[in-house]
Amino acid sequence: MTSTEYVAGLFDLTGHVGIITGGSRGLGFGQVKVLTDAGATVYNLDLIPHSDEQMIREGHLIDIRCDVTDYDAVEKVVKGIVEKERQLDFLINNAGITFKCRAEEFPLDRLDKIIQINLKTPYMLARICYPYLKQSEYIGGVITISSMAAYMGFTGVLPYDMTKSGVLGLTRGLAEEWKNDNILVNSVAPGWFITKLNEEMFEKNPDRKAAALAKPMLPHFGDPVEIGYMMLFLLSGASTYLTGQDFPVDGGAIPHGF
């Protein structure tokens, strides 16, 4: 076997079946692209349909319109996926929301929704997928999107800071509880990435773009596929001794002291 064949085999996800939430755009879209290119079959649970018709035609991507906070509906969807595929190998909790407002004025309904989507839903989906992930012929994987906000905090988005810090606790706790169940549990903390949402925000506020670029060590934004590369690593045969960890992909923002 050549070194090229060895590396290719190590990161080949052909035969793997998994679920991602919020994979239709932004960071989720980058993850879906990388994982399907690596051969995985990915079910995207989202309220918005996917835009990449080629991935859909090739059969690597299956969109399921679903409210991920409707846990009864999600459980039925997951059971349907397993009945069809006869397996489930990974779950990526990507969906998340935020809202900008000072802590003392933050609307309580917004607070509840952010906690539900960013923290409760990753727990509930992991719980729903648990009995299937533990039976994976590979090693079952749960990966949740955290944030550099879990380490440093951002003004005006306290519930986001709270929930992303909570993701680290969720990751460590599940990793400990499921350490003997054939499941690895990790999280990934993105920094600034070029997405449609960020581009629109920067167009309206060029000063904010300049300020964001000045924060990380690397003077440029990330591409969403770079989050996908980290997901590929954590779901591949190269990471079988990693669990309970958070992996920043932030251009050096955290060590730089964002």
pLDDT of residue 8: 83
CATH code for the part of the protein at 3-195+223-248: 3.40.50.720
The CA-based dihedral angle spanning residues 75, 81, 86, 88, taken in that order and rounded to the nearest 10 degrees? -70
| Neighbouring-strand partners of residue 92 | 20, 143
Domain boundaries, the chain: 3-195+223-248
Per residue in 184-226, pLDDT tens?
A: 999 999 998 887 767 766 777 777 777 777 777 888 889 999 9
pTM (2 d.p.): 0.93
Three-state DSSP at 165 gives helix
What are the tens digits of pLDDT across the range 144-155? 999 999 998 888
Closest CA to 142 of 167, 114, 116: 167
Q: Which of 60-69, 129-138, 162-171, 200-209 has the lowest mean pLDDT?
A: 200-209
Closest CA to 94 of 54, 153, 35: 35
Q: In what order do the strands lie in the sheet with 41-46?
A: 61-65, 41-46, 17-21, 90-93, 140-145, 183-190, 246-249
DSSP for 218-232, please give it: SSSPBPHHHHHHHHH
Q: Which residues contact 196 (CB under 8 A, 6 or more apart)?
A: 25, 26
